[in-house]
Structures are given as C-alpha cells and as structure tokens.
Homo-oligomer: A and B are copies of this chain.
Amino acid sequence: MDKLYFTSDYMEGAHPAILERLAETNLVKSAGYGTDEFSESARQKIRAACRAPEAEIHFLAGGTQSNATVIGTMLRPWQGVIAAQTGHVALHEAGAIEAGGHKVILLPGRDGKLSADDIRACLEEYEADENRTHMVEPGMVYLSQPTELGTLYSLAELQAVSRVCREHGVSLYADGARLAYALACPENDVTLPDLAALCDAFYIGGTKCGALFGEAVVFPKAGTVPHFFTLVKQRGALLAKGRIAGIQFETLFTGGLYEQIGKSAVRQASRIREALRAKGYDQAFTAPTNQVFPLFDDAQLKRLGERVEMSFWEKHPDGRTVMRLATSWATRDEDVDALIACL
C-alpha cells in the first residue's frame, strides 16, 4: 500500500496552470532581470489585489532570501529586528539575519504570535534605558501571516501591532510564505489591502502556495529601500530570467487562482482537523490554515508512521509528540480520505 504524504506543502512541482503558461510563453523574447512585460503585468495585478497602486514589487526566489534581503536592507546598521521565538527568521534560516549583521530580538509570543503589548513594552524599555546607546535599537517588527504554527493574526491584532510600530517609528514586515492559506481561511479577516495598509513591507508566498519557486516582495510605498534592485543583485537574489517568476505570479493573480489554491488546501486541512477531533486526538495549536498539529502517543505514532509521512514538530511535555501535517493545492479528496481512515 502506498505511503500518504503530508510532509510539507512543497512536495510537488507547480499548479498545472503555471506550467501551461510557462509553456505558452516560452519562446517570447523578453528583457532580463524582471524588466519584462510578464513581470510588469504581475506587478499590476498584485497592486490591484492589494489596492496599492503605488506599490513597488520585486520577485525573489525564496523565503529566507526575501526575509534576509528585506530585513537586511530596511534596517540600519545599529538596528535589530523583533521576532517571536518561533519565528522563521529566529530559528530556521541558519542565522541569515545575523550573517547580514543584525540581531534578532526575541519576544516569547503566544501560539506563534507577537502581541502589540509585548512589542510596546520592548520598545519602551529600550527607549528608557540609560545605556541604550550601547545597545541594539529595535528597528523593525517581523511577523508571519499565517505564523509558523499555522495561526492567524486577526485584523484587530495586526492593527494594534501596526499602531505600536508607527507610534515608535519602527517598520513592520510580514512574512507571507503561506499567505494563500491565510487569505483562504474562513477565520481570517486580514486582506491583502489590509497588509498593504498596515505593513511597510511584506511578501506574498509563491513557493509554498503553488509556484515552482518565487515570492513577491511588496513595498506599499515605492522607494522604501533606496537602490533595492542593486541590493537584490548584490545578495545574489536577482533572477536573470526574471520573467519566470513574473509569469508565475501573473498566473497566480489571474482568475483568482491564488485564492483557489488556498481554499482547496484549507478545506482538506479542515477535514483532517475535524476527523482528529472526532476520533479524540488533541491538537497542539488552534491553527485554522493548511497545517495541522496533532498530538500522538508512541503507539499511535508507530502505527500511523507505517502509512503516513508527516513532519516531527516537537516533543510535548506530557511525553506525546506533536507532528505536523500539511496540505497543498495538490492534496486530493482521496488522499485525505485515506489518511482519515488510518487515524
């Protein structure tokens, strides 16, 4: 019997519509480095979706690259970035932010989320410290929507965070590696125009949301980082055939494909969550997006492991194990049916 794969949301190639469009446009000749017509069209569609007609948009290849490039170029040399302890930049980017010269200032977070109050306290403590000229200045807040634990900031929460940042002159940056799954979530009330209004920069994830690769970095206000194009090049993040990213985002933002990809994955994840609940399994986080975090005891783990591929997340203090199952645009009804049958 075949294995069932729920290891991650980047196990397949790309949504078929993307491959079709790449084939269709393959012999069109275009200029390099993202100055082509496809990339420009993708930018226009994203600007429209964000209701941010002046936004500056760049297509980069991956999430760590986008985070390191945006954070490293927006911060000034005496500044660091505030992140939750579970934040991707804090844990799983091999020290990319520090390699770029900046401290990641950790706050505990709750269910993967920073609170406006904790951020305010951190900023006020710095501002009040007599030794602050010997210290790293918090210059930016980094958060993920959805978070690394699959949870969501509500609009009210994001507005509160944004307000604190603006009151203290600190930038707000949102990592949208899995943004499609947030946008598609019934529980979600944060739209792309909200992100554009509340953040100084964010990226719309492609790699984990149906593209071969690619993230769309959005600066709602053009010129936020002077010479950003050159800095992207300097960091080895400029794609010679920029069109390949452009065509993918053009496709994702045509006919509602990005939303559709998100919806399909969230629906499958919700089916898994309901089945887990129905069968009496606990879940570690109230994650409504495309990631599911069940708790299994050793016997369950052994039995399920024979049939289902999933990711180890962490040991729970009570001895059980938190695992992660992820769905994607490619997850089919029958895959989830088979999984549920195993539980």
Contact = CB atoms under 8 A, between A and B. Distances in A.
A312 B129 CA distance: 10
Nearest to A102: B98
Interface in A189-209: 207-208
B13 A241 contact: yes
Contacts of A77: 73, 99, 227, 231, 234
Contacts of A67: 236
A321 interface: no
Interface of A: prevailing SS: loop
A95 B103 contact: yes
Interface stretch (A28-36, A151-159, A165-173, A269-277): A28-36
Given A11-B30, A27-B12, A237 B65 contact: yes
A11 B29 contact: yes
A94 B136 contact: yes
A289 interface: no
A207 B65 contact: no
A213 B236 contact: no
Contact of A233 (B5, B76, B96, B207): B96
A130 B312 contact: yes
A79 B95 CA distance: 8
B80 A95 contact: yes
Interface in A1-56: 5, 7-8, 10-14, 16, 19, 22-23, 25-32
